[in-house]
Amino acid sequence: MKNAPDAGRIAELLARFDRAGPRYTSYPTAVEFTEEVTAATYGDHLSRAAAVDAPISLYLHLPFCQHRCAFCGCHVIITDKRDVIGGYLDVLHREIDLIADRLGDRNVVRQYHWGGGTPTYLTPEEMHALHAKITSRFRIEEGAEVAIEVDPRVTTPDHLALLRELGFNRLSMGVQDFTPEVQEIITRNQTEAETVELVEACRKLGFESLNLDLIYGLPKQTQDTFVTSLRKVVELRPERVAVYSYAHVPWMKANQRKTEAEFLPDPETKLLLFGEAHSAFVEAGYDPIGMDHFAVPEDELAVAARERRLHRNFMGYTTKPAPDFVGVGISAIGDVQDAFFQNEKGIPAYKRRVMAGEPPIFRGVVLTAEDRLRRDVILSIMCNARIDRADIEARHGIDFPKTFAWEMEQLAEERKHGFVEWNDDLSEIRVVGDGKLFIRNIAMIFDERLRRMKRDGPVFSQTV
């Protein structure tokens, strides 16, 4: 396997690095959110955001699915009652107005994303009305990233034609694994033909970028069957591929309790699965991006990675970040003026708050100066596998070796194993070689909150 760890080193790598840790879509992570951060706090931060002359990122959470997959870790609602969906959308329209009112003249959107759930579980008419509500209050910037998650099992030609008409330019669809035995145990029966048909339809309609999601570490996956799935994805040639580690967190997600642990690949096999994915996509001409993405060299994600201007937020890796990230819908998370805010997770509470004219915030965290410093360092590692000492010192007014003396001692140990390297003047620290397979672990060294966290039980999934 080209550029993948050989079997002789796997046991040592796992013994040292396979442990629980965050994925760092944010720092501080969501486990640090508290109910001390309220709707009033959010209102204050939105007022500050309204005074900023810059675009925003906007995320809409559409939680509905026809069926819940056994591996799913998302916040979803299973229903076939269209009146439930319609009622939710009515409230979502109200929340959009509420937030737009608070932001005032700050209405330009640079990154716009519909996630779920299954956004295309909505009817084309519902989708058209929702987008019309957004564009009545916000202006989508020319060249913006306009993205949506789609499911081949429910997405119709009418959905795709509408999305193209509305200006969506990037689609992300779940594949997970083409193997029938794997699909059966994860209760996601999605035929290869359905996926291929949707990909071909997207090509004909001229979508600029198509992303396919795969998951490694699923029950009943083997090295041979996963290689077959990888080969089929390479043949489809999507512009981007995300290869996620299955996060088995049954203590958090009741649907995962149906999965017997005996069917999960052992840690050695799981690492080999990612190694196969890494090898398959690199050999097919894709550039590795961050910790789990791949992109064709001409895709803007690959270009940004080469130019070291990649960014990461709650929507994943992006090339078009904005200073503030606003989330609407149940459970949506926003990042506004150095604070994270999460909406109510249940529809009744969400509806009650919105209809009362207040942001439906139930928890969050306001970042300290120390948090902001460590967030920048952690995101630099997660996005670009490097730390630029001069940049960090200039932005935060610190002396890097002095501030991070303990962390440098830990990195010195990783340097011995060939996972990190740096210049003599410490101007640049780089994650290299097998260290990129465990980039979450390298980032964890700088996570002060993780070191101080008191755990009564498991919190995070394994890093491998």
For residue 435, the 8-state DSSP code is G
Instruction: Identify whether residues 196 and 153 lie together within a single domain.
Output: yes
Instruction: Identify whether residues 379 and 308 lie together within a single domain.
Output: no
Q: Is residue 243 part of a domain?
A: yes
Instruction: Identify whether residues 15 and 138 lie together within a single domain.
Output: no
* 326, 349, 379 - which closes a domain: 326
SS3 266: coil
CA 347 – CA 324 distance, rounded (Å): 25
* Residue 112 pLDDT class (50, 70, 90 cuts): very high
Instruction: Identify whether residues 183 and 278 lie together within a single domain.
Output: yes
Instruction: Identify whether residues 285 and 389 lie together within a single domain.
Output: no
Judge contact between 61 and 329, C-beta under 8 A.
Answer: yes
Instruction: Identify whether residues 184 and 255 lie together within a single domain.
Output: yes
Q: What is the pLDDT of residues 42-60, one digit of tens each?
A: 999 999 999 999 999 999 9
CATH number of the domain that residue 389 is part of? 1.10.10.920
Query: What is the per-residue pLDDT for 307?
Result: 92
| Amino acid at site 204 | K
Q: What is the dihedral sign for C-alpha 279, 283, 286, 287?
A: positive
Determine which of 19-33, 196-210, 229-243 has the lowest per-residue pLDDT on average: 19-33
Instruction: Identify whether residues 152 and 249 lie together within a single domain.
Output: yes
Instruction: Identify whether residues 37 and 17 lie together within a single domain.
Output: no
E strands present in 166-239: 170-176, 209-216
C-alpha distance from residue 456 to each of 24, 33, 453 (Å):
21, 16, 10
Q: Are strands 420-422 and 428-431 parallel, antiparallel or unpaired?
A: antiparallel
Query: What is the per-residue pLDDT for 7?
Result: 45
Q: Is residue 341 part of a domain?
A: no
- Vertex 31, ends 173 and 309: CA angle to 5°? 55
* 299, 326, 353 - which closes a domain: 326
Where is pLDDT greater, at 411 or 291?
411
Query: What is the per-residue pLDDT for 154?
Result: 93
Which H helix or E strand runs over 240?
strand 240-245
Q: Is residue 362 part of a domain?
A: no
For residue 323, the 8-state DSSP code is S
Q: What is the pLDDT of residues 340-386, one digit of tens each?
A: 999 999 999 999 999 999 999 999 999 999 999 999 999 999 999 99
CATH number of the domain that residue 249 is part of? 3.80.30.20
Where is pLDDT greater, at 378 or 461?
378
Judge contact between 56 and 326, C-beta under 8 A.
Answer: yes
* Residue 268 pLDDT class (50, 70, 90 cuts): confident
Query: What is the per-residue pLDDT for 262?
Result: 75
Conformational region of residue 357, where left means phi above 0, alpha means psi within -120 to 50, and beta covers everything else: left
Q: Which residue has the tokens 């997770």?
A: 345
* 276, 309, 326 - which closes a domain: 326
Q: Which domain holds residue 302?
A: 29-326
Query: What is the per-residue pLDDT for 358?
Result: 96
Instruction: Identify whether residues 111 and 255 lie together within a single domain.
Output: yes
Determine which of 57-71, 192-206, 259-273 has the lowest per-residue pLDDT on average: 259-273
SS3 115: strand
Bond into 28 cis (ω within 30): yes
Query: What is the per-residue pLDDT for 34?
Result: 97
Q: Is residue 354 part of a domain?
A: no
Q: Is residue 348 part of a domain?
A: no
Q: Are strands 56-62 and 108-116 parallel, antiparallel or unpaired?
A: parallel
Q: Is residue 139 part of a domain?
A: yes
Q: Is residue 270 part of a domain?
A: yes
Judge contact between 212 and 295, C-beta under 8 A.
Answer: no
Q: What is the pLDDT of residues 401-426, one digit of tens each?
A: 999 999 999 999 989 888 999 999 99
Q: Is residue 221 part of a domain?
A: yes
pLDDT over threshold 50, residue 93? yes
Query: What is the per-residue pLDDT for 55?
Result: 98
| Alpha-carbon dihedral angle through residues 432, 434, 437, 438, given to the nearest 10 degrees | -80
pLDDT over threshold 80, residue 254? no
How many alpha carbons fall within 13 Å on the CB side of residue 318? 22
pLDDT over threshold 50, residue 1? no
E strands present in 122-202: 139-150, 170-176
Instruction: Identify whether residues 259 and 389 lie together within a single domain.
Output: no
* Residue 249 pLDDT class (50, 70, 90 cuts): low
Q: What percent of the chain has pLDDT over 90?
A: 74
For residue 338, the 8-state DSSP code is S
Judge contact between 21 and 296, C-beta under 8 A.
Answer: no
Instruction: Identify whether residues 409 and 295 lie together within a single domain.
Output: no
Instruction: Identify whether residues 13 and 62 lie together within a single domain.
Output: no
Where is pLDDT greater, at 73 or 136?
136
Query: What is the per-residue pLDDT for 370?
Result: 97
Per the structure, how many domains does the chain have? 2
